[in-house]
């Protein structure tokens, strides 16, 4: 009888024919006995299936499941864990890269009795030529957590865990949790990890083991709704953590912050459509006037102002600067600012 693998790398994909090959190469070059790769394709209408067919010819150890219909990212990752055979599941993304020796580093860490491993990541631009953030999770060294310091674990990791590729979880634990409650949130893994009862034993690997291709998320056109509403609603739904800690992690109503509205206006994610749909019945008095004003300011002018702010006041905001550069409202000032911060390409 064949022994079950220690680790299943579970990759859910949709419409990534242009990128998934590079991701697979970074994984397959490191595969070793005790590690399997499971790919769930959510009925991609592009050439993903053709790309996968080429890899399946060369790497029969890949287990590829093409779904008949797209069920959404949450359900597809849940399916991938269901198809997996490993003791642990690494919820890998479909357009990012594993660092060399990342799998071996994780296998060594899994020798401890753990429920969860969180790996760090670096953030780069779309062609990986510029580093936007050297570490997604700000920890100077590896750290272990248990039920006694679970509040600290939540504070230190939950924002970084918005990136699903950080998650390596015991499969048995995943399957024992309420997953369907989080279908449609876009962050099923966060719901699985932080729901009651809390995860008992976890380790964070501070060294980045993944390179994120920033700005390529499938949900980018919906980013205002996601980061202003879906994400904070999820964060504030976890009863095991204090309101003080949740407030440190993310504001309950971030849409009340005019500077955030200004940023989304500069990116083209906030305007009169979003004002009417999301804010009209929520804001009153001076705040309503401020929200309305931001919605009608020309997006190109706001893009210029926020770009100058990044250069003159907040030079560490390289990811925001890169987003401004890639928005349809980018202009000469944006490109000038991006070059000063060395995020242009």
pLDDT per position as a tens digit, 195-206: 998 888 999 999
What is the structure's pLDDT at 1? Answer: 41
CATH of the domain at 132: 3.90.550.10
Q: Is 143 in the same domain as 238?
A: no
Q: Are residues 180 and 256 in the same domain?
A: no
What pTM did the predictor assign?
0.94
Q: In this structure, are 145 and 234 located in the same domain?
A: no
Question: Are residues 166 and 121 in contact, defined by beta-carbon separation less than 8 angstroms?
Answer: yes
Q: What is the pLDDT of residues 69-116, one digit of tens each?
A: 999 999 999 999 999 999 999 999 999 999 999 999 999 999 888 999
Whole-number pLDDT of residue 113: 87
Residue whose pair of structure tokens reads 């990136």 in the numeric block? 163
How many separate domains does the chain show? 2
The whole-chain average pLDDT of the chain stands at 95
pLDDT digits (tens, 9 = 90+) for 125-150: 999 999 999 999 999 999 999 988 99
Residues 77 and 194 in one domain: yes
Bridge pairing between strands 88-92 and 167-170: antiparallel
> Would you say residue 219 has pLDDT above 60?
no
Question: Domain boundary at 192, 213, 234, which?
Answer: 213
pLDDT of 72: 94
Task: Supply the Cα-derived Rg of the chain in whole angstroms.
Answer: 21
Residue 37 lies in a domain: yes
**Cβ-defined contacts of 171-178 (< 8 Å, 24+):** 171/8, 171/81, 171/84, 171/86, 171/87, 171/88, 171/89, 172/87, 173/115, 173/116, 173/199, 174/81, 174/89, 175/81, 175/82
> Of the ranges 155-164, 214-223, 289-298, which one carries the lowest mean pLDDT score?
214-223
Token pair 């490109």 is found at: 335
Question: How far, in whole angstroms, is CA 287 from its chain's centroid?
Answer: 31
Domain termination residue (choose one: 213, 247, 280): 213
Tell me how far apart the terminal alpha carbons of the chain are, to the nearest angstrom: 53
Same domain (yes/no): 197, 269: no
CA distance 92 to 94: 7
pLDDT tens digits, 296-335: 999 999 999 999 999 999 999 999 999 999 999 999 999 9
Out of 166, 195, 213, a domain closes at 213
Domain region containing 205: 7-213
278 and 204 both lie in a single domain = no
The reply to whether 88 falls in a domain is yes
Decide if 236 is inside a domain: yes
Reply yes or no on whether the pLDDT at 166 is more than 50. Answer: yes
47 and 179 share a domain? yes
Mean pLDDT of 272-282: 96
Could you tell me if residue 345 is inside a domain?
no
Are 37 and 167 within one domain?
A: yes
Structure tokens at 81: 């864990």
């Amino acid at each position: 009888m064949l022994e079950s693998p220690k680790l299943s790398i579970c990759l859910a994909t949709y419409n990534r024919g242009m990128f998934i090959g590079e991701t697979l190469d970074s994984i397959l070059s490191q595969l070793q006995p005790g590690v399997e790769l499971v790919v769930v394709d959510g009925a991609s209408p592009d050439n993903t299936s053709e790309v996968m067919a080429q890899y399946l010819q060369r790497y029969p150890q890949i287990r590829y499941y093409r779904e008949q219909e797209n069920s959404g990212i949450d359900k597809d990752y849940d399916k991938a864990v269901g198809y997996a055979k490993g003791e642990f599941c690494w919820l890998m993304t479909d357009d990012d890269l594993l660092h060399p020796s990342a799998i071996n580093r994780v296998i060594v860490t899994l020798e401890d009795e753990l429920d969860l491993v969180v790996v760090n990541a670096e953030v780069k631009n779309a062609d990986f030529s510029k580093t936007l953030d050297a570490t997604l999770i700000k920890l100077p060294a590896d750290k272990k957590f248990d039920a006694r310091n679970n509040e600290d674990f939540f504070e230190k990791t939950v924002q970084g865990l918005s990136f699903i590729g950080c998650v390596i979880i015991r499969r048995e634990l995943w399957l024992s949790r309420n997953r369907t409650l989080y279908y449609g949130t876009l962050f099923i893994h966060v719901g699985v990890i932080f729901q009651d009862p809390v995860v008992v034993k976890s380790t964070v690997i501070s060294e980045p083991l993944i390179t994120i291709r920033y700005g390529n998320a499938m949900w980018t056109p919906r980013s205002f709704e996601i980061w202003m509403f879906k994400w904070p609603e999820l964060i504030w739904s976890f009863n095991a953590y204090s309101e003080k800690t949740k407030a440190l992690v993310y504001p309950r109503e971030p849409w009340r912050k005019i500077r955030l509205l200004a940023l989304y206006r500069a990116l083209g994610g906030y305007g009169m459509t979003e004002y009417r749909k999301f804010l009209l019945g929520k804001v009153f008095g001076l705040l309503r006037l401020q929200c309305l004003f931001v919605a009608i300011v020309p997006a190109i002018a706001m893009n210029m102002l926020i770009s100058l702010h990044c250069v003159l006041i907040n030079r560490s905001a390289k990811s925001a600067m890169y987003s401004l550069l890639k928005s349809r409202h980018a202009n000469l000032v944006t490109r000038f600012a991006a070059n000063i911060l060395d995020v242009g390409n």
